[in-house]
Chain A
Amino acid sequence: MPELTYREAVRDALARALREDESVFLMGEDIAEMGGSMAVTQGLLAEFGPKRIRNTPISEIAIVGSGIGAAIQGMRPVVEIMYEDFLTLSMEQLVNQAAKHRTMSGGQVTVPLTIRTQGGAGWSPGAQHAQQLEAWFVHVPGLKVVFASTPEDARGLLWSSIYDDNPVVFFEHRTLYPLKGDVPDRLEPIPLGKARVHREGEDVTVVATGRLVHEALKAAEEAGTEGISVEVVDPRTLQPLDEETIVASVRKTTRCVTAHEAVVRGGFGAELAAVIQHGAFDWLDAPIERVGAKFAPLPFAPAMEQWVVPHAEDVLEAIRRTVARG
Chain B
Amino acid sequence: MATVEERAESGGRRVSEQLLKTFFREMLLIRRFEEKVEERFRAGELPGFLHVAIGQEAVATGVCAALERDDVIASTHRAHGHAIAKGTSVERIMAELYGKLEGCSHGYGGSMHLYDVEVGNLGANAVVAGGIPGIVGAALAFLMRGEPRVAVAFFGDGATNTGTFHESLNLAQLWKVPAIFVLENNGWAESTPATQQLPLPVDELARRALAYGMKTIEADGQDVEAVYLAALAAREHAAAGKGPVLLHLRTYRLTGHYVGDPQVYRDRAELKGERETKDPVELLRARLQLTDEGLAAIDAQVTAEVEASVEFAKAGTDPSPEDAAKYVYA
Question: Which of A86, A89, A307 contacts B324 (CB under 8 A)?
Answer: A307
Chain A residues with CB under 8 Å of B113's CB are 126-128, 300
Chain B residues with CB under 8 Å of A33's CB are 191, 264-265
**Chain B contacts with A in 150-172, Cβ cutoff 8 A:** 158-159, 161-164
Contact A124 B48 (CB under 8 A): yes
Question: Which of A61, A86, A129, A306 contacts B321 (CB under 8 A)?
Answer: A306
CB-CB nearest in chain B for A59: B161
A237 to B130, CA, bound (A): 31
Chain B residues with CB under 8 Å of A30's CB are 189-192
B287 → chain A, closest Cβ, in Å?
35
Contact A58 B191 (CB under 8 A): no
B265 → chain A, closest Cβ, in Å?
4
Contact A304 B110 (CB under 8 A): no
Instruction: Determine if A109 is an interface residue (Cβ-Cβ < 8 Å).
Output: no
Contact A300 B109 (CB under 8 A): yes
Question: Which of A62, A296, A305 contacts B325 (CB under 8 A)?
Answer: A296
Chain A residues with CB under 8 Å of B144's CB are none
Indicate whether A295 sits within 8 Å of B126 (C-beta atoms), given known contacts A34-B265, A126-B48: no
A and B contact pairs by CB, cutoff 8 A, 25 listed? A30-B189, A30-B190, A32-B196, A55-B192, A57-B161, A57-B192, A57-B197, A58-B129, A59-B163, A62-B163, A85-B127, A124-B99, A125-B49, A126-B111, A127-B113, A128-B130, A294-B325, A295-B325, A297-B328, A300-B99, A301-B107, A301-B108, A301-B318, A304-B319, A304-B321
CB-CB nearest in chain B for A54: B196
A64 → chain B, closest Cβ, in Å?
12
Question: Which of B47, B111, B190, B323 contacts A302 (CB under 8 A)?
Answer: B47
Instruction: Determine if B16 is an interface residue (Cβ-Cβ < 8 Å).
Output: no
B interface footprint on A106-138 (CB within 8 Å = 1, 0 otherwise)? 000000000000000001111111000000000
**Which of B47, B110, B129, B164 has the most chain A CB atoms inside 10 A of its CB?**
B110
Give the bracket for the number of chain B residues in contact with chain A.
Answer: 35 or more
Instruction: Determine if A303 is an interface residue (Cβ-Cβ < 8 Å).
Output: yes
A123 to B42, CA, bound (A): 15
Question: Which of A32, A59, A60, A128 contacts B112 (CB under 8 A)?
Answer: A128
> Is chain B's interface secondary structure helix, strand, loop, or mixed overall?
loop
Contact B109 A58 (CB under 8 A): no
Chain B residues with CB under 8 Å of A300's CB are 47-48, 96, 99, 105, 107-110, 113
Give me the interface of B with A, judged by CB distance under 8 Å: 47-49, 96, 99-100, 105, 107-113, 125-130, 158-159, 161-164, 189-192, 196-198, 264-265, 318-325, 328
Question: Which of B99, B109, B191 contacts A34 (CB under 8 A)?
Answer: B191
Chain A residues with CB under 8 Å of B162's CB are 58-60, 89
Contact A303 B321 (CB under 8 A): yes
A294 to B126, CA, bound (A): 22
Contact A304 B109 (CB under 8 A): no
Contact A124 B47 (CB under 8 A): yes
Known pairs A59-B162, A294-B324, A299-B319. 14 more at Cβ < 8 A? A29-B189, A29-B192, A30-B192, A34-B190, A56-B197, A58-B128, A59-B163, A124-B48, A128-B126, A128-B127, A129-B126, A300-B107, A300-B108, A300-B109
**Which of A29, A59, A301, A305 has the most chain B CB atoms inside 10 A of its CB?**
A301
A123 to B44, CA, bound (A): 12
Contact A58 B158 (CB under 8 A): yes
CB-CB nearest in chain A for B110: A300
A259 to B205, CA, bound (A): 48
> Is chain A's interface secondary structure helix, strand, loop, or mixed overall?
loop
Question: Which of B96, B129, B196, B321 contacts A55 (CB under 8 A)?
Answer: B196
B92 → chain A, closest Cβ, in Å?
14
Instruction: Determine if A23 is an interface residue (Cβ-Cβ < 8 Å).
Output: no
B interface footprint on A36-57 (CB within 8 Å = 1, 0 otherwise)? 0100000000000000000111
A316 to B282, CA, bound (A): 58
B146 → chain A, closest Cβ, in Å?
34
Contact B264 A126 (CB under 8 A): no
Chain B residues with CB under 8 Å of A60's CB are 162
B94 → chain A, closest Cβ, in Å?
14
Chain B residues with CB under 8 Å of A296's CB are 324-325, 328
Instruction: Determine if A308 is an interface residue (Cβ-Cβ < 8 Å).
Output: yes
Contact A125 B192 (CB under 8 A): no
Contact B127 A86 (CB under 8 A): yes
B interface footprint on A285-326 (CB within 8 Å = 1, 0 otherwise)? 000000000111101111111111000000000000000000
Chain A residues with CB under 8 Å of B49's CB are 123, 125
Contact B108 A307 (CB under 8 A): no
